[in-house]
Amino acid sequence: MKLLTVLMLVTLPLHCYADSGCKLLEDVVEKTISSDISIPQYKELLQDFIDSDAAAEAMGKFKECFLSQSHRTLKNFGLMMHTMYDSIWCNIKSN
């Protein structure tokens, strides 16, 4: 489960480098850390990225990891991700 979480966190910033912009990453991070969005809602919101039942199950488990965290942890994670996607590397690609 920890490996899945690490892999998901590593692949999300690749959207910045893939010339799709960092707005997509911001939206996914916000949906991931929001405790107001349930697992079924999360899967529905990210349906474009789910191409199999295994991917849907992995997305559900990924979201479940965040739902079990404290508000403070989620806030710190959001800050860390914001720092990453607001870094010079994403800004260079988008300019």
Which pLDDT score, from 0 to 100, does residue 20 have?
Answer: 44
3-state secondary structure the chain: CHHHHHHHHHHCCHHHHCCCCHHHHHHHHHHHHCCCCCHHHHHHHCHHHCCCHHHHHHHHHHHHHHHCCCHHHHHHHHHHHHHHHCCHHHHHHHC
Give yes or no for residue 3 having a pLDDT over 70. no
Give residue 84's domain range: 2-94
Which pLDDT score, from 0 to 100, does residue 73 have?
Answer: 92
Total number of domains constituting the chain:
1
Stronger pLDDT, 89 or 15, i.e. the higher one? 89
Q: Mean pLDDT across the stretch 29-52?
A: 90
9 confidence band (pLDDT: 50, 70, 90): low
Give yes or no for residue 38 having a pLDDT over 90. yes
Lowest pLDDT segment from 7-16, 43-52, 75-84: 7-16
Taking the C-alpha atoms of residue 75 and residue 52, their distance in angstroms, rounded to an integer, is 31
Lowest pLDDT segment from 15-19, 62-66, 87-91: 15-19
